[in-house]
Amino acid sequence: MSSAFSWRRLFVLLRKEFVQILGNRQVLYILLFPPIVQVTILGYAMNPLVKHLAFAVVDESKTPASRRLIDAFTSNGVFVPQGGGDDAASVYRAVQSGTVDAGLVIPVDYAQTMARGEPGNVQLVFDGVNSFTANLGAGYATLIVQDYNARGEPSTPLSPQITFAYNPGLVTAWFFVPGLLGAILMITGLLASASESVREKDEGTLEQLLMTPASSLEVLLAKIGPLFVLFIIALMASLAASRLLFGLPFRGDFLLFMGISSVYIVAAISIGILISTFAATQQQVVLISIFTALPLMMLSGAFAPIESMPPFWQTLSLVNPLRHYITIVRDILLKGVGLDVIWPNVLALVAFAIVAIWISATRYRSQLR
């Protein structure tokens, strides 16, 4: 069995792992390239807000009043007029076949009823197949009509004065980049560390490694080392790219952020090594990694809000390191708050990293039996 922990052995092992990884161009490319590219491309492409809804209009009234209403709908880019029709039935058909997302029907007597001082009835149908889009669109439509009714002056003296904190321009990339950073570090970290350490098993060099006086902990720390350095580089590069492209702010403490990110990266790598102790081949490693990473990503709040999940899943997400990391990144980057607010998340993350290393160190030596 191994002797006490030795820095010299760790250093030698670290050198071996660094030489091994730096010698493999393809691995370097796979580790560094995707995080940076994915964060920037996805941060640019993903937009949960509703824009450019295809919108069919039938204006049976054909009066200046009805045209003003249509202008109100189409002037802000949410609804884009696309075709239309002569009668309500053709608009309904367009919505029914899915060629447009929404249809507006202004009845023949619209102008007359309004002139009589009665409310004019206008119908707006949404294709609810995408219920999320339909709901957001319906919300916009309500606001548009409220504005139209007010005709410049407030219809009721009660008006909300709403200020958006932390992200006044509602830049969607600011919301997505922290989630993407966490998710991509997790999935690449898992895959890379799991397949790097199962290769040792594949090539039969694991026996040699375990026969040396080095302890499991030393071997593991040496395996974590080079990947850790690469992921820190990838993280900094992704952050720099997001700052350049999206103006992503960094309002909090940089050292605190890097410290917590280090803990998180170690946790992701340790989970990967843990996976490798269960798998015999590369193929199994990858399938198990994806199986682990997908639920972690889905239940993290990176893409879908945690508050909206059923209570059971919300509780479950508390053991998800990704969830805590994303909360921390958003808090530090966008809100600029410190440890006094995020300490519960940091605590959870540290606990997670320690448990993950401990279990994989325990399993690492016994995996050959």
Partner 1 sequence: MSLRRVWVQCIKELVEFRRDRLTLALAFALPVGMLLIFGMAIRLQITNIPVGVQDFDRSPFSRDFISRINASRELVAVPEPLDRSPMSLLDRGNVSATIVIPPGTQQALAAGRPAPIQSLVDATDVVNALSIKQILTATCAFVGATYAPASAQPTVDLHERIWFNPGGNEALFIVPGVYAVILAMYPTLLAAIAMVRDKERGTIVQAYASRLRASELIAGKCLALECIGLAEGLAIMAIGFAVWGVRFAGDPLPLLIGTPLLVCCQVLLGLLIGARTNTVTSAIQASGSVNSLVSVLLSGFLYPVTSMPLVFQWLSYIVPARHYINITRDAFVRGAGWPGVWTEVLALAIIASVLAVGTWLSMRRMQMAD
User: Of residues 205-224, which lie at the interface with partner 1 (CB under 8 A)?
Assistant: none
Please report whether residue 76 would count as binding partner 1 according to CB under 8 A.
no
CB 38, CB 184: distance < 8 Å:
yes
From 6-14, 147-155, 223-231, 355-363, give the range in contact with partner 1 by CB under 8 A. 147-155
Of 53 and 361, CB closest to partner 1: 53
Please return the burial class of 312, using the count of CB atoms within 10 Å of its CB with bins 0-12, 13-18 and 19+: exposed
Crossing angle of the two packed helices 282-298 and 172-202, in degrees rounded to 10: 160
Is residue 83 helix, strand or coil? strand
What minimum distance in Å lies between the beta carbon of 122 and partner 1? 6
**Looking at beta carbons only, is 179 or 321 nearer to partner 1?**
179
Please, which of residues 162-181 interact with partner 1 by CB under 8 A? 162-168, 170-172, 174-175
User: Which residues 257-316 are close enough to bind partner 1 by CB under 8 A?
Assistant: 279, 282-284, 286-288, 290-291, 294-295, 298-299, 303-305, 307-310, 313
Helix (H) / strand (E) containing 314: helix 311-316
Which among 170, 100, 108 is positioned nearest to 134, based on CA atoms? 100
For residues 17-56, which are near partner 1 according to CB under 8 A? Answer: 26, 30, 34, 38, 42, 44-54
Judged by CB under 8 A, the chain residues 184 through 203 that form the site for partner 1 are 187-188, 191, 195
d(CA 63, CA 124): 18
Between residues 39 and 267, which has the closer beta carbon with respect to partner 1? 39
166: left (phi over 0), alpha (psi -120 to 50) or beta: left
When the beta carbons of 327 and 367 are compared against partner 1, the nearer one is 327
For 129, 163, 253, 268, 335, the CA distances from 166, given in Å and listed in that order, are: 33, 10, 16, 29, 6
Q: According to the binding rule CB under 8 A, does residue 151 interact with partner 1?
A: yes
Whether 240 contacts 181, CB under 8 Å: no
Q: What are phi and psi of 104, to 5 degrees?
A: -115, 130
Residue nearer to partner 1 on the CB measure, 14 or 95:
95
Nearer to partner 1, 23 or 168 (CB): 168
Among 119, 152, 203, 369, binds partner 1 (CB under 8 A): 119
111 binds partner 1 (CB under 8 A): no
Q: What string marks each residue from 240 to 259 as x (binds partner 1 by CB under 8 A) or -?
A: --------------------
Q: Give min distance, CB of 124 to partner 1, in A.
A: 5
Q: How near is the Cβ of 90 to partner 1 at its closest, in Å? A: 13
Residue 275, CB-side half-sphere exposure with 13 Å CA sphere = 29
Structure tokens given for 271: 């989970």
Cα three-residue angle 344-349-350, rounded to 5 degrees? 100
Among candidate residues 351, 349, 352, 360, the one with its CA nearest the CA of residue 259: 349
Residue placing its CB nearer to partner 1 in the complex, 18 or 166: 166
Contact 321, 235 (CB under 8 A): no
In angstroms, what is the minimal distance from the CB of 15 to partner 1? 23
| Residue from 7, 8, 25, 97 in contact with partner 1 (CB under 8 A) | 97
Among 12, 237, 256, 341, binds partner 1 (CB under 8 A): 341
Binding partner 1 (rule: CB under 8 A), the pick from 15, 19, 87, 98 is 98
C-alpha angle 369-356-367 in degrees, rounded to nearest 5: 5
